Structure 1
Amino acid sequence: MYINETKIIVRYVETDKMGIVHHSNYYVYFEEARTQFIKKSGMSYSDMEQSGIMFPLVESSCKYIQGAKYEDELLIKTWIKELTPVKAEFNYSVIREKDQKEIAKGSTLHAFVDNDFKIVNLKKKHTEIFEKLQSLI
Structure 2
Amino acid sequence: MYISETRIVVRYAETDKMGIVHHSNYFIWFEAGRTDFIKGSNISYSEMEENGILIPLAESNCKYIIGAKYEDELIIKTWVKQLTPVKVEFNYSVIRENDQKEIAKGSTLHVFVNNDFKIINLKKVNKEIFNKLESLI
Give the TM-score normalised by structure 2: 0.99
Cα deviations by residue, 1:79-133 (Å, 9 ceiling, x for unpaired): 0000000000000000000111000000000000000000000001110110111
Matched, 1:15 2:15: yes
- d(CA) in 1 for partners of 2:55 and 2:121? 12
Equivalent positions of 1:1-137 (< 5 A) are 1-137=1-137
- d(CA) in 2 for partners of 1:40 and 1:135? 11
SS of the residue 2:60 aligns to:
strand
- d(CA) in 2 for partners of 1:12 and 1:36? 23
- d(CA) in 1 for partners of 2:95 and 2:21? 14
- d(CA) in 2 for partners of 1:125 and 1:37? 21
Give unpaired runs (5+ residues) of structure 1: none
Cα deviations by residue, 1:58-78 (Å, 9 ceiling, x for unpaired): 000000000000010000110
How many residues are aligned here?
A: 137
Question: How far 1:135 sits from its partner (Å)?
Answer: 1.2
Cα deviations by residue, 1:21-57 (Å, 9 ceiling, x for unpaired): 0000000000000000000000101000000000000
- d(CA) in 2 for partners of 1:74 and 1:130? 30
- d(CA) in 2 for partners of 1:136 and 1:9? 27
Give unpaired runs (5+ residues) of structure 2: none
- d(CA) in 1 for partners of 2:106 and 2:30? 8
SS of the residue 1:13 aligns to:
helix
Alignment root-mean-square deviation, CA = 0.4
SS of the residue 2:85 aligns to:
coil
Counterpart amino acid of 2:71? E
- d(CA) in 1 for partners of 2:41 and 2:78? 13
Give the TM-score normalised by structure 1: 0.99
- d(CA) in 2 for partners of 1:16 and 1:49? 35
Identical-pair percentage: 75
- d(CA) in 1 for partners of 2:134 and 2:10? 31
